[in-house]
Structure 1
């Protein structure tokens, strides 16, 4: 469902802006529960100069690129300059790039489903880190059945399984703190092997595999996978809230979705 909010006193120009924006935004997502768009322009005469006061998008249950789910996503700009001629043709074209305050919420369940996504599976399969291949006789190793649990204070627990030539179903168990590098890459810092759920006879093996697995994780979670057409997301802060992972930052809007 795609809609837009508007003031009861919104004039024709503002209603047209909201309608055009809604049509563009809904095509960004493979599917969604709700997407709401709100564009404000007061007084209406500012539209003649191509100036609007703010643009806001809020969505829930959004699926990006068919495999990556966001529980919630929102961004809101300050004043924006648009091309009036393009608007009359049914499009919103920015006269210059702009920034917006942004927030993305990922649920623990969606994060775990993302480990099954094709792009992620490619990075978990046929891993050749030296720490790992030293234990596998030089053969690549694949990780599977990855499971993550969010904990307070940006802490996470992660489990996985892998197979070696002489041992199947070797468990991997670790704890770490989720951090952000260069505002775009998620890192699992201060990672520690957690032996509690690992049988004693394979703990030494599992500990070494865990170190290699951490390197795989730290090379794979890039927020550019959540970028939208014309919208680049950057993160200033992240936090765990119950079973949700919340990213707060900004969106660099190069062009309005669906236009160039």
Structure 2
């Protein structure tokens, strides 16, 4: 349904929220907030809708998000606080969120120091012997048809041997709705076993824990994935306990 253009009050509230969200991010190319209400509803403590969109948003762990969109229906607020720019929710509200990650941005995150530190010193058993693994390089290809292709180069410290692995997998949603897991379709590499493949895959997909995208007062629960050509589209339910403001 088409909405009327925002008035000065709507735009002022929207700008306050935009600034508040911007302070919670490492950086962003664009943040837009569209709050819609009318004087009668506002006095009664109601916002008709809130739309938050961002482009080139960088969140935890140096992970860049190509696009993020969060849409709510009616939101209950404290109108007296809102007059002074503090949009305080009187109870949590539900929202829909859509997040787009590009193949290039995921691969950039794999190379950042925080993620690299998580990929070193992995302990497991290989052929009944304890081994320590350092993942030296990792890349993700998104060929479409809801598939991931992950390629890695890793060091087996005890053997001082560098090995390579690639795996084709289908992304799935963990039961808690926070993380993406992968169903392995095929794997190739020297001296591999299933446990080794799963340890490496688990460490790499930890990057895609939705809690990495949470803003203060906003939590996400994943409910649909689309692994498209060159990008991953995440659909999530969002619960908003508080809208960030400055």
Q: Structure 2 length normalisation: TM-score?
A: 0.89
Q: CA deviation at 1:221?
A: 3.8
Distance 1:45 1:159, change over 3 A: same
Gaps of 5+ in 2: none
Equivalent of residue 90 in structure 1, options 66, 74, 85: 85
Residue 186 of structure 1 pairs with residue 180 of structure 2: yes
Distance 1:166 1:128, change over 3 A: closer
Q: CA deviation at 1:225?
A: 1.1
Distance 1:167 1:76, change over 3 A: same
Equivalent of residue 62 in structure 2, options 67, 75, 99: 67
Residue matched to 1:232: 219
Residue 46 of structure 1 pairs with residue 33 of structure 2: no
Residue matched to 1:11: 7
- Which structure has the larger Rg over C-alpha atoms? 1
> Cα RMSD between the aligned structures?
2.2
Residue 248 of structure 1 pairs with residue 235 of structure 2: yes
Residue matched to 2:19: 23
Residue 175 of structure 1 pairs with residue 168 of structure 2: yes
Residue matched to 1:199: none
Residue matched to 2:155: 163
Residue 111 of structure 1 pairs with residue 106 of structure 2: yes
Q: CA deviation at 1:231?
A: 0.7
**Contact (CA 8 Å) 2:37, 2:46: kept in 1 or not?**
yes
1:39-73 deviation per Cα after TM superposition (whole angstroms, max 9, x unaligned): 0013x221111111000011111101361110000
The structure that is strand-richer by fraction is 2
Distance 1:155 1:47, change over 3 A: same
Q: How many correspondences in the alignment?
A: 241
Equivalent of residue 81 in structure 1, options 76, 83, 87: 76
Gaps of 5+ in 1: 1-5, 196-202
Q: CA deviation at 1:139?
A: 4.2
SS in 2 for 1:161: strand
Q: CA deviation at 1:239?
A: 0.5
Rounded Cα–Cα distance in structure 2 between residues aligned with 1:230 and 1:132: 46
